[in-house]
Amino acid sequence: MIYSLDKINEMAEGDQEFVVSVVSVFLDEVPADLEGLENAIDSKEYESIYKLAHKIKPNVDLLGMEHARATALEIETLGKNSGSMMDIEEKFPFLKKDVLQVISELKKDFNL
């Protein structure tokens, strides 16, 4: 498992509905943001790359996805500073793979 509910459980203080709500929001928002990020990278739109990576980062952090969070931060920084598009293009597949795996696991684990 590449995600952890520790942070969410700590915030939820035993409220299972809150946990399911946070997971549901992740499943609703992050796939669209990830697709938007991929399109922004394809179009080489630095501002959109920055904004979407910035939006994805706290979502993956909340699920304890440290590697994905670090990758999102790197992409965010490169987008903000109009950094190497090649570096962005090299990093994105790792972020996408982790996020898609967690989406699949969450859907299975929460029957969503």
b/e code 68-87 from CB counts within 10 Å (16+ = b): bbbbbbbbbebbeeebeeee
3-state class (DSSP) for residue 112: coil
Place of tokens 């999102």: 72
Tokens encoding 82 = 């109009």
User: Structure pTM?
Assistant: 0.93
Tell me the CATH number of domain 6-110, given options 3.10.310.30, 2.160.20.10, 1.20.120.160, 3.30.450.70: 1.20.120.160
Per-residue pLDDT of the chain (112 residues; tens, 9 = 90+): 689 999 999 999 999 999 999 999 999 999 999 999 999 999 999 999 999 999 999 999 999 999 999 999 999 999 999 999 999 999 999 999 999 999 999 999 999 8
Q: Which amino acid is at 105?
A: E
Q: What share of the chain is helix, strand, coil (3-state, %, to 5)?
A: 85, 0, 15
